[in-house]
A and B are shown apart, each in its own frame.
Chain A
Amino acid sequence: MNNTTIQVEDLSVSYAGKTAIRDINLTIPSAQIAGIIGPNGAGKSTLLKSVLGLINYQGSVTFGDNKLKQVQKDIAYVEQRQNLDLNFPINVFDTVLLGTYPKLGLIKRPGKKEKQLAEMALEAVDMQSYSQRQIGELSGGQLQRVFIARAIAQQPDWFFLDEPFVGIDVVSEEVIVKVLKKLRDEGKSMVIVHHDLSKVTEYFDYLIMLNQTVSAAGPVDQVFDKDNLSSIYGTSFADLVSGGK
């Protein structure tokens, strides 16, 4: 399914009668790092979750010629602010190993190959020396690197990351960005929800600018400008950010 794009058609989501996002029409390109930006409450996470089939929506989402069900195992998702029990009896290595479970199928147990994948994924984010630590002992940034490693161990074609850089240290952010770009160069596709506008041109190839509806979507250098920013954030804010560009 590499080289196939994600097609989103007439997608709308409402919670308890209130519209979160509406009339979304998008083509998300493959083998690129696509960013979704927009103000708080713009529906960025909602868009991500509906594409992943985690919430109910109206409209259609297709992966090339396939429905989500057929490609689900080739998708890795790293949630925003992981709502996880960090006191769960599991160490770093086993957490990354979880990434190999979906492709293993039911009943089959992880073997040598899966353990190697986990090992390599941990090395990719420079966390191999923490392998035997409990996850509760890690800092926010280290934890995020572990979850990125878990996503890598899943060997997906698509990575969906929701605000991966919130509340983490500079070193971890650099490590993660580096590994994501490397994966992109190997042909993997990413969709990342993001809110720090200063890094947009540096991080993304493709940009989706969202505030309940899509204001603009396209290659970063074509759409990341003052007009589009003001249409999602309001005029004064756009002036502030783009510094009169």
Chain B
Amino acid sequence: MIGNFIDGLIKYQFLQNALITSLLVGFVAGIIGSFIILRGMSLMGDAISHAVLPGVAISYMFGFNYVIGASFFGILTAILIGYITEKSTLKNDTAIGIVFSSFFALGVILISFAQSATDLYHILFGNVLAVRDSDMILTAIVTVIALAFILLFFKELKLTSFDPVMAQAAGLPVKLFHYALMFLLTLVAVVSLQTVGTILVIAMLVTPAATAYLLTNNLKVMVWLSSFIGMLSAVIGLFFSYSYNLASGAVIVLTAAVFFIMAFLFSPQKGLLISGKKKQDTEKLA
């Protein structure tokens, strides 16, 4: 079966594209996702990945690159959510719920004008086996941008994620980093459309990062581990998707979920079973 997969990889360009793209998506979602979960912005990630839909639809309609439309709506979502939270007494999660569901609904309607129903299905659930060269290159570019940003500003991201008040008091442009991260999140959401689809992008951002979070107490290790788990999930998921003809996004996400469950139960420091055992030991001592 694995031989089959490798044969396919050698023979078919579409499978090579799929593998490279899903590896890149696993990697980039893993690093961005680490900061997303530490900043308590998982819901925001979900919101943006859904809210890019009208941007994609409008881009198809007018024939320009869908990255432009999607980025526009991604950033618009982040700004609107911030604006509603600031100008009303509503809580942040409520503002997120209102904005992203509205944009998503708008997107569904616009897509029905722009494209046929099958395309909507692919946007929602991804179809990594249909990745074109241009999509793959785009994913690579986004990965390079995100990686450069994280490497250059790791120090600032660490400080603004951990203690935004201190960062602000010391004169760091905290808001700028917030929106820069939102922009990257949007880019990642857009390139993930092909591999896992709009609905499951959040899983690629959050699940590997959460798994890594359970396994280490060091931010740097967490970021790299998260991207490694993301890539591993992508490869394993792609393999099962190809071999059994299953929806690629769903299988990749389930693979990541299996890694998470293992970390949740068996992590040396934070695992449920392990710390349960530790607790028993200390109780015995007492």
- Contact between B38 and A101 (Cβ–Cβ < 8 Å)? no
CB-CB < 8 A to A83: which residues of B? 165
At the interface, yes or no: A106 with Cβ under 8 Å from chain B? yes
- Contact between A79 and B170 (Cβ–Cβ < 8 Å)? no
| Nearest-neighbor residue (CB-CB) of A75 within chain B | B169
In the assembled complex, the Cα of A72 lies from the Cα of B221 at a distance in Å of: 32
- Contact between B158 and A98 (Cβ–Cβ < 8 Å)? yes
Chain B: interface secondary structure?
helix
| Nearest-neighbor residue (CB-CB) of A108 within chain B | B155
- Contact between B217 and A52 (Cβ–Cβ < 8 Å)? no
Q: From the candidates B155, B159, B162, B166, name the one contacting A77 in the complex (CB within 8 A).
A: B166
> Which residues 81-101 of A sit at the B interface, judged by CB distance below 8 A?
82-85, 88-91, 94-95, 98, 101
- Contact between A54 and B168 (Cβ–Cβ < 8 Å)? yes
Q: In the complex, which range does the number of interface residues on chain A fall in?
A: 20 to 34
- Contact between B172 and A90 (Cβ–Cβ < 8 Å)? no
- Contact between A89 and B156 (Cβ–Cβ < 8 Å)? no
At the interface, yes or no: A134 with Cβ under 8 Å from chain B? yes
Within the complex, what minimum Cβ distance (angstroms) separates B162 from chain A?
Answer: 5
Q: From the candidates A89, A98, A107, A108, name the one contacting B163 in the complex (CB within 8 A).
A: A98
At the interface, yes or no: B218 with Cβ under 8 Å from chain A? yes
- Contact between B171 and A102 (Cβ–Cβ < 8 Å)? yes
- Contact between B169 and A98 (Cβ–Cβ < 8 Å)? no
- Contact between B155 and A89 (Cβ–Cβ < 8 Å)? no
- Contact between A73 and B158 (Cβ–Cβ < 8 Å)? no
Within the complex, what minimum Cβ distance (angstroms) separates A112 from chain B?
Answer: 16
Within the complex, what minimum Cβ distance (angstroms) separates A243 from chain B?
Answer: 38
| Nearest-neighbor residue (CB-CB) of A77 within chain B | B169
In the assembled complex, the Cα of A72 lies from the Cα of B172 at a distance in Å of: 9
Within the complex, what minimum Cβ distance (angstroms) separates B152 from chain A?
Answer: 5
In the assembled complex, the Cα of A91 lies from the Cα of B162 at a distance in Å of: 12
- Contact between B165 and A77 (Cβ–Cβ < 8 Å)? yes
At the interface, yes or no: A110 with Cβ under 8 Å from chain B? yes
In the assembled complex, the Cα of A175 lies from the Cα of B163 at a distance in Å of: 24
At the interface, yes or no: A138 with Cβ under 8 Å from chain B? no
Q: From the candidates B38, B158, B163, B165, name the one contacting A54 in the complex (CB within 8 A).
A: B165
CB-CB < 8 A to A88: which residues of B? 38, 161-162, 219
CB-CB < 8 A to B216: which residues of A? 89
In the assembled complex, the Cα of A90 lies from the Cα of B161 at a distance in Å of: 11
CB-CB < 8 A to A52: which residues of B? 169
| Nearest-neighbor residue (CB-CB) of A100 within chain B | B155
Within the complex, what minimum Cβ distance (angstroms) separates B85 from chain A?
Answer: 15
- Contact between B218 and A104 (Cβ–Cβ < 8 Å)? no
